[in-house]
Amino acid sequence: MSGALRDLDPQQLEAVTTLRGPLVVLAGAGTGKTRVITHRIAHGVDTGAYSPGRVMAVTFTAKAAGEMRGRLRALGVEGVAARTFHAAALAQLNFFWPTLAGDSAPGIVDNKVRLLAHAADGLGIDPDTATLRDVASAIEWRKITMRSVDAYAAARPHGIGRLDISRVVDLQRAYERLKDERRQLDFEDVLLACAGMLEAEPQVTQAVREQYRHFTVDEYQDVSPLQHRLLELWVGDRRDLCVVGDASQTIYSFAGADARYLLEFAREHADARVVRLETNHRSDAPILAVANALMRDRPGALELVSARDEPGVVPEVTEFADDEAEARGVAMRISAQLAGGVDPRRIAVLYRSHAQSAELLRALADAGIAATVLGGRRFFEIPEVRQAVMELRAATVAPIETGFVQTVRDILRSRGLSDEPPEAGGALRDAWEARGALLRLAEEAPDGTTLRAFTDELMARAKTQDEPAMRTVTLATLHAAKGLEWDHVHLVGIAEGLLPISYATTFEQVDEERRLAYVGITRAGRTLSLSWARGPRERSASRFLREIGSGTLRAGGAISSSAAASRRAASPSARSGPQGSARRR
């Protein structure tokens, strides 16, 4: 059996060995969809069904595309175009534009809000930054749903901030004029221009279809009308199209994502094969019972079954008096997990909105627990990391008298990496954790790695946003957590007004909030705790807790704010240095 077919469950094997499309893989959370995509491509190459250079694998983030390329390399496959929609479209524009227009392709707008501010100046209006951001989002929605400015006004006749709809329309038109004058395209224009080029230039369409014969699209539930149209133009009337997705994880409808393309794929392609991946390799059965209960009877919902034999721990739900008590209660639980030997990198606290992170960060810092907010500063943009990488790079020009790892350790120690960390919650601790992550990368490098090769890898990782995990607890919004996993998840704020969020008023909006809760639940592998706080305005428990029901949850003990404050405790394991973490590995 070839390497591409090893260690697959029966449903994964069916998907991987179905090399001719159309194929739709309905892949539930934790069922190994990226594994299926990469192993299917590798199997196609191994059997001669695919030529790597004629395969396009499309996903939604540069990081996901980089991970896909890495997994394909590990399977011995090079040359596959694993890209985002935008990267693929931009590459085609840059290649064909000079021939078609006799000039280089337009530049790309680097800051839509700044350009909108200049357009507003030209109109003699001065909207605040928040309004400009919302107008930018409106422009993005209009373009990816393929609407004109007039059609946008008809679909969304309300204003934005203090701008009425006529002013919003004026600002959008001024933005487009200014962009054209500067000969620039924005992010969404790249897709529109590529689709327009393919529609208008048959020779270009023919060349693209000759180049790419086999298409795979990941996260198909998040495809927008514009992306769907571009994909139609790429594929044409050919059959080799595989799409993979999970309707229960559609959490970007507000930005134009439309799960109907996934759910109706078999209807759109009458001879499509449908494979359902429902064996979850991430989570224990009690966690999946909560997820299944929440999504019961929802369109496209899959019934997840755990591949693990362990009975698992029944998730608990806890009511707190207020937000402070909830944050400190979560910090106490995490302290206990760390004291029990859990690696902080395997713990996450998830919430609906960024505003909830401040109280949590404060409580964790008071307990001596270091935490990193996902979606904050990128790792390789941290000043201390940039400086360390520069010094490591400079050290490659001189002979190394000590071992490679010792050289890295000496340089990082000279920059402030001590055996004992500073107190959690400040910039010094953040810098210490970042330097520790660099040292762990060096310690985990393959035998024979040189300092030059190590710094080359660091620079490549910075370019592809392949960031190392710092030895900290992760805090993240539910949107940012999608696609990630942890052994232990604390999902906070499960109250009306927070999840579902207060402005979710329609059936569709509440349904999207339910899917967000589902994404959060299915990030957990071993333990899951849910919590909510009444607060001064007497919130009520989320309707989602009622939908899940008491049959799959156990009640945790409520903790008052004063009691939580009196029980602050810092775990010794939370303050271990990088050498200690290496020994535990």
Alpha-helical regions (H) of 396-443 = 404-414, 427-443
Residues of the chain with pLDDT under 50: 558-585
29 labelled ligand-binding: yes
My answer on whether 479 and 571 are in the same domain is: yes
Residue for token pair 């109280």 = 359
482 labelled ligand-binding: no
Whether 57 is covered by a domain: the verdict is: yes
Whether 325 is covered by a domain: the verdict is: yes
Whether 433 is covered by a domain: the verdict is: yes
Whether 101 is covered by a domain: the verdict is: no
My answer on whether 38 and 160 are in the same domain is: no
Token pair of 529, please? 């705790």
My answer on whether 221 and 294 are in the same domain is: no
Whether 549 is covered by a domain: the verdict is: yes
312 labelled ligand-binding: no
CATH number at residue 116: 1.10.10
458: which DSSP letter?
A: H
Per-residue burial over 544-561, b if 16 or more Cβ lie within 10 Å, else e, is bbeebeeebbeebebbeb
Mean pLDDT of the residues in the chain: 88
My answer on whether 414 and 478 are in the same domain is: no
My answer on whether 241 and 346 are in the same domain is: no
Whether 584 is covered by a domain: the verdict is: no
300: which DSSP letter?
A: T
CATH number at residue 296: 3.40.50.300
557 labelled ligand-binding: no
My answer on whether 322 and 452 are in the same domain is: no
Q: Which pTM value belongs to this model? A: 0.83
Q: Are 285 and 314 in contact (CB under 8 A)?
A: no
pLDDT in tens, 479-512: 999 989 999 999 999 999 999 998 888 999 999 9
My answer on whether 485 and 419 are in the same domain is: no
Q: Are 236 and 209 in contact (CB under 8 A)?
A: yes
pLDDT in tens, 124-162: 999 888 889 999 999 999 999 999 999 999 998 889 988
Q: Which of 141, 158, 182 is the last residue of a domain?
A: 182
My answer on whether 366 and 478 are in the same domain is: yes
Confidence (pLDDT) at 576 = 36
My answer on whether 370 and 481 are in the same domain is: yes
Identify the domain containing residue 65 by its residue range.
3-89+191-277
Confidence (pLDDT) at 302 = 95
Whether 423 is covered by a domain: the verdict is: yes
Q: Which of 416, 436, 466 is the last residue of a domain?
A: 466
Please list, in sequence order, all residues whose beta carbon lies within 8 angstroms of the beta carbon of residue 112, skipping any fewer than 6 positions away.
136, 139, 186, 187
My answer on whether 372 and 383 are in the same domain is: no
Token pair of 222, please? 């998040």
27 labelled ligand-binding: yes
Assign residue 368 a region (left: φ > 0; alpha: ψ between -120 and 50; beta: otherwise).
left
569 labelled ligand-binding: no
**What distance in Å separates the CA atoms of residue 370 and residue 376, rounded to the nearest whole number?**
15
Q: Which of 142, 160, 182 is the last residue of a domain?
A: 182
Number of domains in the chain: 4
β-sheet bridge partners, residue 372: 474
My answer on whether 356 and 491 are in the same domain is: yes
My answer on whether 303 and 412 are in the same domain is: no
